[in-house]
């Protein structure tokens, strides 16, 4: 997608916020516990390579991604730290992963058997065995299956048994019943493990923030690095997270809309009196959701309602007075003591802030500050 560098809508990423969030979490970790920064989905919309560089400076010793191409992007950018692909990669790419020293998630012996046939002589693939303790997504489901996989790895030296992990489904919930069930299943898996690999990890952001006793010797630090509370508003974070992402634009057209005139597709909004209306060059093609009609933005510290349907490339707002073309508009972030958070946007849309942050498209330029 073409980046919109020649219009005034942009995502502003505060690198110091990311740095501080990671540094604060590292300060809480027990000695010897490593932090791998999760930079999947283009760094949760913040920019994969830029976030990785900030995380590297803040003390992250490795990275987690969702797909192989993200790992290859990091390698191409010059990152030499360990990289774990959290999703299942097709076995036919085993040698590509091995040649780039990228670690694979494995959830079945069948995957190992297939991958072995693609590994060239002398190449070794690092693997992390994924355990399904209750997420229901991927991984070995029974300790007996794990034992078979470990035995296979012991007799096939082309694989390096580098790690073992699971993922908690409710670590961000005040109700810990299901979390405790998963912990018990994890312990049952670990009981059949004759020797622990280099990395033993169960903690995403939520687990590390609220269940740090489970951390193992590595955590997968994700959404909290970007300053977002994994629980939304259900649990209070143990330290203040600093949001890194703002979304700003400018007024590109301002007019007085006469009483009785309507705005946008479907004429879903009609002025009940003469009103000042501003147009912004941003829309749902940029990931600013169409369902945000009726929400608000900030102009000069004042909340201004989005009126009419949000278009693919533009949206309209009701202004309290006439403002000049070029006036800054804040869609996410702070302005004159007022703020709109990604959580606010997510709440209005009936979703989670993860989806909003990841949904901003490549057409929005990412501008890095601090």
H/E element, 15: helix 15-28
pLDDT band at 167 (very low <50, low <70, confident <90, very high): very high
Contact of 234 with 173, CB cutoff 8 Å: yes
Contact of 197 with 162, CB cutoff 8 Å: yes
Q: CATH 2.40.37.10 in the chain: give the residue spans.
A: 245-369
State the catalytic residue, choosing from 19, 40, 323, 354. Answer: 40
Residue 249 is encoded by which pair of tokens? 């634009």
Q: CATH 3.20.20.10 in the chain: give the residue spans.
A: 32-226
Q: Which CATH number fits domain 245-369: 2.40.30.10, 3.40.140.10, 2.30.30.40, 2.40.37.10?
A: 2.40.37.10
- The CATH architecture of the domain made up of 32-226 is Alpha-Beta Barrel (3.20)
* pLDDT tens profile 226-260: 999 999 999 999 999 999 999 999 999 999 999 99
* pLDDT tens profile 292-303: 999 999 999 999
| Residue 40 among the catalytic residues | yes
Contact of 100 with 81, CB cutoff 8 Å: no
Look at the block and give the residue holding tokens 């007075």: 321
User: pTM score > 0.85 for this model?
Assistant: yes
Residues annotated within the binding site for substrate are 137, 312
Mean pLDDT score, 338-359: 97
Start-to-end C-alpha separation, the chain:
27
State the catalytic residue, choosing from 30, 180, 236, 265. Answer: 265
Per-residue CA distances from 318 to 112, 124, 310 (Å): 59, 61, 13
| Residue 265 among the catalytic residues | yes
pLDDT band at 214 (very low <50, low <70, confident <90, very high): confident
């Amino acid at each position: 997608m073409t980046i919109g560098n020649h219009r005034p809508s942009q995502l502003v990423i505060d690198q110091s916020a990311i740095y501080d969030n990671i540094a604060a979490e590292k300060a809480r970790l027990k000695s010897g516990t490593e932090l791998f920064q999760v930079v999947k989905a283009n760094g949760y919309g913040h920019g994969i390579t830029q976030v990785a560089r900030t995380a590297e400076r803040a003390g992250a010793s490795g990275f987690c991604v969702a797909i192989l191409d993200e790992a290859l992007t990091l390698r191409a950018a010059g990152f030499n730290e360990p990289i774990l692909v959290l999703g299942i990669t097709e076995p036919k790419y085993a040698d590509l992963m091995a040649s780039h020293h990228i670690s694979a998630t494995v959830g079945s012996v069948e995957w190992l058997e297939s991958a072995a046939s693609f590994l060239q002589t002398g190449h070794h693939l690092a693997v992390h065995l994924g355990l399904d303790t209750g997420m229901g997504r991927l991984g070995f489901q029974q300790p007996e299956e794990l034992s078979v996989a470990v035995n296979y790895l012991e007799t096939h030296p082309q694989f390096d048994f580098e790690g073992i992990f699971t993922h908690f489904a409710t670590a961000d919930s005040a109700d810990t019943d299901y979390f405790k069930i998963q912990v018990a299943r994890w312990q049952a898996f670990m009981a059949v493990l004759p020797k622990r690999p280099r990395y033993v990890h169960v903690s995403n952001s939520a687990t590390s923030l609220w269940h740090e006793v489970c951390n193992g010797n590595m955590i997968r630090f994700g959404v909290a690095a970007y300053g977002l509370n994994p629980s939304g508003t259900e649990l209070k974070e143990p330290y203040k997270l600093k949001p890194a992402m703002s979304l700003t634009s400018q007024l590109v057209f301002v007019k007085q809309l006469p009483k009785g005139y309507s705005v946008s597709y479907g004429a879903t909004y009609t002025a009940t009196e003469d009103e000042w209306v501003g147009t912004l060059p941003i829309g749902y093609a940029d990931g600013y959701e169409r369902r945000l009609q009726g929400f608000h933005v900030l102009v000069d510290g004042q909340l201004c309602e989005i009126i009419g349907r949000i278009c693919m490339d533009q949206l309209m707002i009701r202004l309290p007075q006439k403002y000049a073309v070029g006036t800054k508009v804040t869609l996410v972030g702070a302005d004159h003591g007022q703020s709109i958070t990604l959580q606010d946007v997510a709440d209005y849309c009936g979703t989670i802030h993860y989806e909003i942050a990841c949904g901003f498209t490549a057409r929005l330029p990412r501008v890095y500050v601090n």
